[in-house]
Structure 1
Amino acid sequence: MTDDMTEIEAESAQGPSYSVPPVHRAFRLLRHIAAGGRCRNAAATARELGINRTTLIRLLHTLEEEGIIESDDDGASWQLGVGMISLAADALKSRDVTRVAQPVMARLASELHLSIHLGVLDGRDVVYMLRETPNSHLISNIREGSRLPAHATTIGRILLAYMPEKQLLDLYRDADLEAHTAKTSTTLTQLIMQIGEDRKHGIAWSKGNFEPGIGSCAAAIFDHRARPIAGINVTGPEEQFSAYSNNAQHIEGAIKAAAAEISRGLGYQG
């Protein structure tokens, strides 16, 4: 109790009068875990975060009880839990783009009999915000809140395609581009060439670039300031995405039309 009171008094003296020091410490710990810190050494983690060791242990077990973090080795290390992912997904769903996009995506899934996703760029990842699936066995296993590498996915590529060159170079400087299949771009030079073609055609195509046997194509969604804020894609069996086939041309027209409709709903006048 004394250690906790000392921390509260110290932080209260430094922070705004309405801040709650224990909440600050909890979020400091969550950011640490989200960045890959597994908290295997409680004493070292406590020193790094400026948190009392006893307080750290209490926070870990409280967050675990709430489902915000979870341990896969009986409390020896920690990672973000399903509760945190659900909260993040709910927060993302509250954005205007998801409200505008949902009915358009539902209609598109029904028309194409394929899975439809909407995602946003977060660093070098794409966070999936919405998913609409057809009433068939062709259902995507990508859920709301999923996080996938931008360089290997169609939504990620089409959003990177509209990123200013300097920002793109800074984002991927010294980055390790993992090869998910033999078709994935694994160097920055390859990625720049690929997204250059994506921007030229206004659509990103994939035939097994991220997952063998899975095809996809994506178009960007723009807001009222003409900023690319999200991407929408169609995903299904690779054979349905064969280049220049009538089916692929139909998919391309449908996904571009859907992205344009959502963009107009957000005030885009381009």
Structure 2
Amino acid sequence: MSNTDETPPGQRGRTREGQSGVQSVDRAISVLEILAREGQAGVTEVAAEIGVHKSTAFRLLAALEERDLVEQNSERGSYRLAFGILRLASAIPTRIDLTRQAQPVVDELAAKLDETVNLAVVQEHYAVNVQQARGSAAVSSHNWVGQLTPLHATSSGKVLLAHMPAERRLEILRTAGQPRLTEHTVTDRARLLAELDAVCGGALGTAYEEMEIGLNAAAVPVRDHTGTVVGALSVSGPAFRFGRAEIEAAEADLRDAGDAIGHRMGWMG
């Protein structure tokens, strides 16, 4: 009879031990993710979610507590993340490059929507596009990478403005103004501020032929590990095929992509 286990007899114990160790690591990471998502949780809740006995969940939490990664809330008997997490995380942000983290997400979204996707950040009083990907339908589209675009007349710019402190937003608008670029550009300050308030409240940033006749766009925020908006992800296309209905249809994918970049940057939201 052949033995289906080709592992040498002397190594089988070590293999099982290794598998057990990997499983423990996986469970410990799951515990951290649960606490990051829920804020706090008790032993019973953790055990139920990862599918283990309460004694196993308690041992996992105790091991994490010993390393200062979780701490117990004495008032409620539940656990939450501890400052040891910050010690580990502090080494990461300085090495994270937004464009590098965003690249696969930007490429995937452009292929899915078959339109042009850009990632923009603030530079002085402008939005500058730092990354772009184009769908097959946008082969002849303009290359926006490295170009400065007005904050008040672009979807990305509106997202970036909306999530700034109010004082900085007003300073930029006073300095840069709201020049009319097309007949659709919003030049009224009160109207723009109302639109920015809506974007800050969760609405899409949109620009319908406001910077260039025939070009529509929509954008969502991109957050870093602290939850701060550090960029804006936009999708744009010619008005004849990327109108309000198409933007509405693309919204869920655009938001998912913006969140995906944020998660790659360490955002837990």
The alignment's TM-score, normalised by the length of structure 1, stands at: 0.61
DSSP 3-state at the match of 1:136: helix
Letter in 2 for 1:212: I
DSSP 3-state at the match of 1:141: coil
| Equivalent in the alignment of 2:196 | 195
Give a deviation string over 1:153-191, Cα, whole Å, max 9, x none: 110101111111122122222543111112212133232
| Equivalent in the alignment of 2:222 | 221
| Equivalent in the alignment of 1:252 | 251
Deviation at 1:146, TM superposition (A): 0.7
| Equivalent in the alignment of 1:131 | 132
Deviation at 1:227, TM superposition (A): 0.8
Deviation at 1:258, TM superposition (A): 0.3
Deviation at 1:242, TM superposition (A): 3.1
Using the alignment, how far apart are the partners of 1:107 and 1:180 within structure 2?
31
The alignment's TM-score, normalised by the length of structure 2, stands at: 0.61
Asked whether the 8 Å contact 2:115–2:136 carries over to 1, the reply is no
Give a deviation string over 1:239-261, Cα, whole Å, max 9, x none: 34433x3x333211111110000
Asked whether the 8 Å contact 2:119–2:129 carries over to 1, the reply is yes
Q: Structure 1 unaligned runs (5+)?
A: 1-93
Asked whether the 8 Å contact 2:236–2:242 carries over to 1, the reply is no
Asked whether the 8 Å contact 2:96–2:265 carries over to 1, the reply is no
Asked whether the 8 Å contact 1:133–1:139 carries over to 2, the reply is no
Deviation at 1:119, TM superposition (A): 0.8
Count of residue pairs brought into register by the alignment: 175
Using the alignment, how far apart are the partners of 1:137 and 1:255 within structure 2?
17
Tell me the C-alpha RMSD between the 2 structures.
1.8
| Equivalent in the alignment of 1:266 | 265
Asked whether the 8 Å contact 1:207–1:241 carries over to 2, the reply is no
| Equivalent in the alignment of 2:208 | 207
The alignment-based identity, stated in percent, is 26
| Equivalent in the alignment of 2:178 | 177
Give 1 or 2 for the bigger CA radius of gyration. Answer: 2
Asked whether the 8 Å contact 1:117–1:132 carries over to 2, the reply is yes
Letter in 1 for 2:127: V
